[in-house]
Chain A
């Protein structure tokens, strides 16, 4: 069975600092990987996704993630965060089916 572990429940960071949100998954077969963002009082929206090909995936708002098959990880990074990046971030895995499994989420707090 597939599962997703987000290693940090909360990540505080100062504005303009770099940030990494960690995600590990477990699956016995090839998967598709996603990062979604949820701003306060809103639904989730897609940041980026990995389907195949290049292991470095670029998304919206300057975020990128790297797929590491040997470490079964899909960490999200941004070189310089803004106050507006304060949100909850969800890593998700789809094992080529109709159901996507979401991690528990990481709350990113960007401080001035």
Chain B
């Protein structure tokens, strides 16, 4: 049981380049999330998904796109990277028991450190 895994762990891009970050979970969770972590700002939600084939915008979605073609995978894409997107990116997944009203413990991957020059 690997939990939540992220690929790659590190990446350096030049401004304008594109890339895709892959998140995979083997816990059969319905909900998946992409966050970015910047010093002094905590975690900010980029996009999230409440099930296969569905995605929604979070707090800071501009410049990113996502896809959830398979339940276990959640991809984050940067079409044209900018220096402002230099950050550590975390994927998370959660299972929300029915009747819990949305109380979810999120399980996080180890992160991807992205530098845009």
Which A residues are closer than 8 A to B by beta carbons? 4, 9, 32, 34, 36, 41-46, 49, 51, 90, 94-100, 102-105
- Other-chain contact of B43, A9, A41, A98, A102 (Cβ < 8 Å): A102
Instruction: Tell me whether B90 and A94 are in contact (CB under 8 A).
Output: no
CB closest chain-B residue, reference A51: B103
* Mask: chain B, 26-66; 1 = CB below 8 Å from A; 0 = not: 00000100010000111111001010000010100000000
Instruction: Tell me whether A90 and B42 are in contact (CB under 8 A).
Output: yes
Residues of chain B at interface, number, CB under 8 A: 28
CB distance from B109 to the nearest CB of A (A): 5
State whether A90 and B43 are in contact (beta carbons under 8 Å apart), knowing that A43-B111, A45-B108, A99-B58 are contacts in the complex.
yes
State whether A46 and B105 are in contact (beta carbons under 8 Å apart), knowing that A103-B42, A104-B40, A104-B41 are contacts in the complex.
yes
A99 to B31, CA, bound (A): 10
Q: Which of B43, B100, B101 counts the most A-chain CB atoms under 10 A from its CB? A: B43
CB closest chain-A residue, reference B31: A98
